[in-house]
Amino acid sequence: MSNVDVIGLFKQAALEVHGRELGTLDAATEISTLGLDSVAVMEMTGCLEEKLQIRIPDEELAEVETLGQLDTLIRRVIAGKEAP
Amino acid sequence: MAALDHPNLIAALDAGRSSTHQGFTFVVGEGEEELLSWDRLRAEAMNRAAHLRALGLRTGDRLAIVMPDGRDFVPTFLGATWAGIIPVPLPPPLSLGKLDSYLGSLAAVMNKAEPAYLATTAKIEDVLGSAASRVPSLQGIVTAEDLRAEAPAAASREPVDPHADDIAFLQFTSGSTATPRGVEVTHGSLRANAWAIMRDGLQADSATDSGVSWLPLYHDMGLIGFVLSPVFHKVGVTFIPALSFVRNATIWLDTLHRTRGTISFAPNFAYALAARRARPEQVAKWDLSRVRVLGCGAEPINPGTLRGFAEKFSACGLRPEALVPSYGLAEATLAVSFDALDEPLSTDVIDRDAYERGKRAVSVPRAGLEVNDAVEFVSCGRAFPDHEVGTFDTAGSRLSDRHVGELWVRGPSVARGYYKDPEASQETFGGGWLRTGDLGYLVDGRIHVTGRSKDLIIVNGRNYDPQCIEWLADDAPGVRAGSTAAFSVPGTAGEELVVIVESRTARPEALQETIKQRVNEQLQLVVSEVVIAPPGSLPKTSSGKVQRAKARQQYLDSMGSLLPAE
């Protein structure tokens, strides 16, 4: 799972959940600049969690502002899950 | 257990003693849940009351509560009430995005309420630190983990005996930093409203009914509708975390199916979300035939959304009459009216021109909707017994049926006022009526809400102060200062946000984009349209203040003129 493409999955979630094409994104992209409301972002988060079979703790999600931070957090959650 | 007319919430909670089989069930994790029986709830509330007293909190002190998890929130809220401490429920950090604006508004609201303590969880305590440090009244932070432990034996567990006019809790209605307003819900208004909701509105029976709620508990509909009123009437409720619902809306209907729930409520947006997300195999599996009431309130109701929902889930045995539009507002504690149970969605189709230009609701055939000559509003039913709703013009004269005016409410559910805000209290609560700021008309007592006359934008069930949006737009380069208007208009599925700014900019597209970005970044709201108007085109008062409602009406009128001519 270490090669998971969070940005790619995020774009896919936007397409699946909202039918939105997000264009070019990178680790520095701030999620709040994408024209998505807070419910839409949480729906997409749910979609990502379902695909990756993880649950991101709410309080850690609240501190995420960029896609890079989301990527780091998701990798940490996956690593935590895979650890014995 | 029969529903008794307890004198107040504390007596209602106390009456749950030795009732160990029914109560509140909290979904805490994947497939995990915990029942807090009425007896256990009472015991936990007493323990928390003792904890809070041991911290030095006294009757009348405020306790800010930021707890996302109902399992912690509910006994903490009730424990504070038990000790006569005034709970102030506040939203937790909700989602990805800008934490700064959340912390700013949290600090502003706390500085209005002046709480002596903040109750939160160990996990989010750090996140809230910077907001807490800006609130001089705070003596400390207490965590859910501390409150779960056994309280010091020396601290009193005795309940207070409140008067009907004492404040039970403060309900802050909008996430605004500009003018945070806390509604003073009294023990008397709470009891009156809980009674009206459960007996008159829902005709609830504690032996056969059970609720399901994902609604946030810092919000009046989730807190009063699904925590406090059920404590009065001892109707069991299953709680789903709000964030689990927005991640995956199907958990709501799945829980109704699984627990054989009979009552649930949600704002309009949730009905659109659940219908969109339900997968065919889920629809095939769910049995929703036991559902008696699916209430809709807290934001403007789109009849098409409710009809679409009823149609989609009729395959699950959902009866169309289960969908019940309601009207209410925090200033009336929670609810004012429910549409009649056991009647399908009732709507009124009226002539667009007479409505927009003459403020009259003239009934016309449905066919008018096809050519946009008509508008449709849902009936939210009649005011509860002992309550009254009237429509009034701007001069304060009462209007007759089918004339659109401001809805005014009176009756025992009306709250006492706004906390530490005598001016706003007088404006809204003075003169024997609660001036709701909502526009609507009556037909034989049935309430039809058509819009808002002032200062409130509701999107996705959350309230936003238009002022905050206007300030963000004001700061954009090229915008004429103090010449912006933000308001919402009915969209295809729910409310849509429109911002009008005055500017002579040579690059209107760039300015539109800047404003959309700013609002989205700061408030996580999507602006549907930014209108760039030449300076001097927004309607203003003689003192130069933008007339928001008038600007909105002009916008709607001009939309109409853009439609193809007959």
Specify the higher pLDDT residue, B456 or B187. Answer: B187
How far is it, in rounded angstroms, from Cα A69 to Cα A30? 9
Which of B92, B93, B97 is facing A32, going by the closest CB pair?
B97
Specify the higher pLDDT residue, B365 or B94. Answer: B365
Mean pLDDT of B221-250: 95
A-interface mutation test, from B96, B243, B522, most A Cβ less than 10 A away = B96
Q: So what's the pLDDT on residue B177?
A: 52
8 Å CB contact of B93 and A30: no
Q: How far is A38 from chain B (nearest CA, A)?
A: 5
Q: So what's the pLDDT on residue A2?
A: 59
How far is it, in rounded angstroms, from Cα B459 to Cα B461? 5
Q: How confident is the model at residue B550 (pLDDT cuts 50, 70, 90)?
A: confident
8 Å CB contact of B97 and A41: yes
Q: Which two tokens stand for residue A69?
A: 């931070």
| Residue showing tokens 């006294």 | B58
Per DSSP, the residues of B76-98 read HHHHHHHTT-EEEE-PPP-SSS-
From chain A, the residues in CB contact with B102 under 8 A are: 62
Other C-beta atoms closer than 10 Å to the C-beta of A84 total 2
Q: Which two tokens stand for residue A51?
A: 């695909």
For residue B161, give the nearest of B10, B372, B338 by alpha carbon.
B10
Q: So what's the pLDDT on residue B178?
A: 62
Q: So what's the pLDDT on residue B541?
A: 72
Q: How far is B215 from chain A (nearest CA, A)?
A: 13
* Cβ partners under 8 Å of residue B204, min gap 6: B3, B198, B233, B235, B263
Amino acid at the residue A20: R
Q: How confident is the model at residue B227 (pLDDT cuts 50, 70, 90)?
A: very high
Q: So what's the pLDDT on residue B212?
A: 98
Give residue-wise pLDDT tens across range B516-544. 998 888 778 889 999 999 888 888 776 67
From chain B, the residues in CB contact with A31 under 8 A are: 96-97
Backbone φ and ψ for B348, nearest 5 degrees, come out as -125, 125
End-to-end CA distance of chain B: 62
Contact B248, B277 (CB under 8 A): yes
Note whether B97 contacts A: Cβ–Cβ < 8 A: yes
**What single-letter DSSP state applies at residue B200?**
I
For residue B33, give the nearest of B249, B332, B208, B251 by alpha carbon.
B251
Residue B236 has pLDDT above 90, yes or no: yes
> What residues does each domain of chain B span?
2-201, 248-453, 456-557
Range list of β-strands (E), B220-341: 236-239, 263-266, 293-296, 323-328, 335-338
Q: Which two tokens stand for residue B193?
A: 């409203």
Average pLDDT, chain B: 91
How far is it, in rounded angstroms, from Cα B301 to Cα B450? 9
Q: Which two tokens stand for residue B555?
A: 């916008």
Residue B561 has pLDDT above 60, yes or no: no
Identify the H or E element spanning B302.
none
How far is it, in rounded angstroms, from Cα B11 to Cα B161? 8
From chain A, the residues in CB contact with B241 under 8 A are: 58
Strands B117-120 and B446-452 come out as: unpaired
8 Å CB contact of A30 and B247: no
> Can you list the pairs that B30-36 forms with residues at least 24 positions away whose Cβ atoms lie under 8 Å?
B30/A55, B33/B238, B34/B71, B36/B71, B36/B74, B36/B75
From chain A, the residues in CB contact with B525 under 8 A are: 37
Q: So what's the pLDDT on residue A33?
A: 80
Residue B566 has pLDDT above 60, yes or no: no
Q: So what's the pLDDT on residue B542?
A: 66
Contact B196, B335 (CB under 8 A): yes
Give residue-wise pLDDT tens across range A2-49. 578 999 999 999 988 888 888 889 999 988 888 787 788 888 999 999
Query: Exposed/middle/buried for B350, CB within 10 Å: 0-12, 13-18, 19+?
Result: buried
How far is it, in rounded angstroms, from Cα B278 to Cα B21? 32
Domains B2-201 and B456-557 share a fold: no
Contact B118, B138 (CB under 8 A): yes
From chain A, the residues in CB contact with B97 under 8 A are: 31-32, 38, 41, 65
Q: How far is A40 from chain B (nearest CA, A)?
A: 8
8 Å CB contact of A38 and B516: no
Q: Within a 13 Å sphere around the CA of B458, how many CA atoms are in the beta-carbon half?
A: 18
ipTM of the complex: 0.86
Mean pLDDT of B322-342: 96
For residue B64, give the nearest of B8, B9, B108, B27 by alpha carbon.
B108
Q: How confident is the model at residue B174 (pLDDT cuts 50, 70, 90)?
A: low
Q: So what's the pLDDT on residue B453?
A: 59
8 Å CB contact of A65 and B98: yes
* A contact set with B (CB within 8 A): 30-43, 45-46, 49-50, 55, 57-59, 61-65, 70
Q: So what's the pLDDT on residue A34?
A: 83
Note whether B443 contacts A: Cβ–Cβ < 8 A: no
**B window 444-463, beta carbon within 8 A of A:** 459-460
How far is it, in rounded angstroms, from Cα B363 to Cα B240? 41
The superfamily (CATH) of domain B2-201 is: ANL, N-terminal domain (3.40.50.12780)
The superfamily (CATH) of domain B248-453 is: ANL, N-terminal domain (3.40.50.12780)
Mean pLDDT of B133-159: 96
Note whether B247 contacts A: Cβ–Cβ < 8 A: yes
Q: So what's the pLDDT on residue A84?
A: 57
From chain B, the residues in CB contact with A62 under 8 A are: 92-96, 99, 102, 124, 127
How far is it, in rounded angstroms, from Cα B456 to Cα B224? 21
Q: How confident is the model at residue B60 (pLDDT cuts 50, 70, 90)?
A: very high
Backbone φ and ψ for B76, nearest 5 degrees, come out as -70, -45
Q: How confident is the model at residue B136 (pLDDT cuts 50, 70, 90)?
A: very high
Which of B241, B460, B517 is facing A39, going by the closest CB pair?
B460
How far is it, in rounded angstroms, from Cα B368 to Cα B375? 8
Contact B181, B220 (CB under 8 A): no
* Cβ partners under 8 Å of residue B382, min gap 6: B337, B445, B446, B447
Contact B93, B100 (CB under 8 A): no
Architecture of domain B456-557: 2-Layer Sandwich (3.30)
> Packing angle between helix B70-82 and helix B38-54, nearest 10 degrees?
70
Give residue-wise pLDDT tens across range B340-359. 998 999 999 999 889 877 88
Mean pLDDT of B116-120: 98
